[in-house]
Amino acid sequence: MGERLARQKAFEDGIVARSLLPEILELASKEGIIQRIMNLSPFSFDDLCTALQKDLGYVIPMGNRRRMIAVFLDILNELGLCVREEGMWRWVSRGGRNPAKTEVIVGSHESGVPVDDGQLFFFRECLRHLPAYLRGGPESIRFDEKSVTAWDRFLGCAEFRSCRKLLLELMAVENRKEFRLLDLCHGPGWGMAETVSLYPAIRLTAIDFTDVFSQTAKDRVRNAAGMNREAGHEESGIRWIGPRQWSGFGCPLPLGDGEFDAVLFTGGDPYIPRTLRKAVYEEVARVLAPGGSLGILTRGYPDPGRQYVPSYRMRITALVHDFSESVCEGWEGFSDPEENLRMFKDIGFREGGAVSGGMSFLESSLWVLRKGAAPVPGDGTMSPSR
């Protein structure tokens, strides 16, 4: 229990993402975004987008650039620099000064962040490409050979490794040869390696829509399996499924009905196209056995009412992460917790795992769900408890 609480605390701290706040504000200042906001105040969102297109050459209609500007305004709102009233945004004066040139964010630049942390490296690489991307340039990080190292370092950062281990515990995975687990969008194999290390006896299947991570993932899992053999642990082997069998979100999984006791899905949720979210999770439910668990590592987009993501640390961390990763190919952003709650209920999921709280555990960042019958009204199923 002590280790679990320590991992939970590491995730909730979100030091790496929050440490980027001064850099984001400085970049927005250099770009002239903040000055436009101050000059326009009060303004509508469309007013700001028009000004950024005209004055800075941003290509707002393309891709998710319009959403990026909305996320940035939400960051300013969390910092108390902008407020939204009756559909209009208003700059909150702090002596008329640009926040990037004041100490308005004192306390947000955290110490203790490892210099070589993969997450910090990844976000800074994203921000480096942000000006060109907003002006119509291509996504800076794609799911291709060129970006394998960046993804590997990012997804293997200490925070995410901790969260995967915690998620597997909450999913109540059992280390027995009859237990069947699917790693959906396995990427560079960090989740698979963690699973192999903790539960060497279970039957594992790994699937991804691209094979660019295949060798990295297999090498990482091979190392974990080798350590198991040295320790004398029983192994069940791994089945790998690639792009020849599965083309990605929106395509049927090449797997049987009720084939798995658990599905692990870490990092891929924000890349599901909005119009396909329900269909994707219906397909996940199809391959799960009755009572099977679904574990998702993501973040919930901060809700205005602060019911699902109430703490400042978790809210600002989610916004900084969302804003930074927006320059990546296919990024759709973190989704609304309340919308997810309704969607999962409709599909027939219920909260489940080693603790109560379901999808709201860690403020909607770790979702632990079980496939079951449609919830009975008033039974508390899928409650927004934290």
DSSP letters for 157-206: SHHHHHHHHHHHHHTT---STT-EEEEES-TTSHHHHHHHHH-TTSEEEE
User: Model pTM?
Assistant: 0.89
How many CA within 13 A on the CB side of residue 48?
27
Identity of the amino acid at 160: F
Identity of the amino acid at 295: G
Based on C-alpha coordinates, what's the Rg of the chain?
A: 21
Could you give the CA distance from residue 214 to residue 72 in angstroms, rounded to a whole number? 35
Percentages (nearest 5) of helix, strand, coil residues in the chain:
45, 15, 40
177 CB neighbour count, 10 Å cutoff: 12
> Could you tell me the domains of the chain?
20-109 (1.10.10), 155-309+331-371 (3.40.50.150)
Q: Give which of 166, 366, 184, 178 is closest to 261, Cα–Cα.
A: 178
Could you give the CA distance from residue 341 to residue 113 in angstroms, rounded to a whole number? 33
Task: Going residue by residue through the chain, which has 386 residues, state the pLDDT in tens, using 9 for 90 and above.
Answer: 555 555 555 555 667 777 899 999 999 999 999 999 999 999 999 999 999 999 999 999 999 999 999 999 999 999 999 999 999 999 996 655 556 554 444 344 444 555 557 899 999 999 999 999 999 999 989 999 999 999 999 999 988 998 999 999 999 999 999 999 999 999 999 999 999 999 999 999 999 999 999 999 999 999 998 888 887 787 778 999 999 999 999 999 999 999 999 999 999 999 999 999 999 999 999 999 999 999 999 999 999 999 999 999 899 999 999 999 999 999 999 999 999 989 999 999 987 654 444 455 678 888 999 998 544 334 444 443 33
